Amino acid sequence: MNPYQKLLERKRTWTPVQTTAGTVKEGAELVLSRALALRHMELPVGDFINDALASEVPEMARELLVSNVKDEEKHDLALGYIANAHGVDEKAEAEALRLRDAWTSHPDHTITKAMVAERAIFFVLLPLMRFTGDGGFRTVSADISRDEQIHVAANSLVHTELGYNISPSLDKLRKATINWVMQPLSASNPDKYLNKKFWLDSSDRLMYEAKLLSLLPPELAESQRSLNMQIQTSHSTLNIGLTVERLLEELEDMFPPSQPTPETPINQIMYRSGQRSIVDFIKSRIEEN
């Protein structure tokens, strides 16, 4: 099975729902309004992938990329529900639209722009929402994060397979975007989740240190071996009276959905996703039967 198909099979379904506004972390109100305003980037990222599909992307990647575009539409809807609940900052909304236009008009290949936006922007904003937002923010962050792990891996594979490069000007745009989001925060705040430098450094690390292509195939192979071992273990366990449902409950506790932070190494993100894929596989098999 090729790596794109493996990524596609690791997807799980979820449904956006309208949330109600709760209490966010004190001091995070402005930065959250800017992070939320960047939801306007979700559909353009989907457009980037659609544009790539009209060009020379690997044939094996097409089904996965089409599925990823549908995910972006769902992300836009979920974040729109958060905006409905909390309201929006009109100034931040206008500035985010200008940033969106800058990303859209940038000359780098669309698959490269999608990869950079998801890896070094969204992978920072989602943990920000998780650690400073209310329950609605946290739920949406977790749901979108699972999708984005697969999106980043897929786009990184295509980007590298086709020999594309990230231009200095795109990296400059990435820095300008994340700096704009974090501008309301102080670089001296002792609370790291309200510290501008913590989040800016996180974006830099995700940009410069992430090497998904080299990490992805071994991790997927390892997750497959783990899956086979887990199935064998479950068969042995069933012989002593443990039900499949009870086994699934235990696995849910042991391997909850991954919610990476900017400090989480990429190889750890992929490894935990591989562990979680075991749970999702068993759950899907139970539902089929």
Question: Tokens 């997750």 sit at which residue?
Answer: 223
The reported pLDDT for the residue numbered 222 is 43
Cα(34)–Cα(119) distance, rounded to whole angstroms?
A: 18
- For tokens 């506004």, name the residue: 21
pTM: 0.72
| pLDDT given for residue 237 in this prediction | 38
Structure tokens at 89: 């900052």
Q: What is the pLDDT of residue 169?
A: 96
Q: Which domains does the chain have, with CATH numbers?
A: 3-11+25-211 (1.10.620.20), 213-288 (no CATH)
The CA distance from 192 to 288, in Å, is: 44
pLDDT of residue 32: 98
- Digit-by-digit pLDDT tens for the chain (289 residues) are 788 888 899 888 899 999 999 999 999 999 999 999 999 988 778 888 888 887 778 888 889 999 999 999 999 999 999 999 999 999 999 999 999 999 999 999 989 999 999 999 999 999 999 999 999 999 999 999 989 989 988 888 888 888 888 999 999 999 999 999 999 999 999 999 999 999 999 999 888 875 433 333 444 434 333 433 433 343 343 333 445 555 666 666 666 666 666 677 666 666 666 666 666 666 666 666 5
Task: Dig out the tokens for 233 from the structure.
Answer: 């273990």
Task: Find out whether 100 and 42 touch, Cβ atoms under 8 Å.
Answer: no
Alpha-helical (H) ranges within 14-89 are 29-37, 42-53, 62-86
pLDDT, position 241: 42
Question: Quick one: which of 202, 236, 222 has its CA closest to 270?
Answer: 222
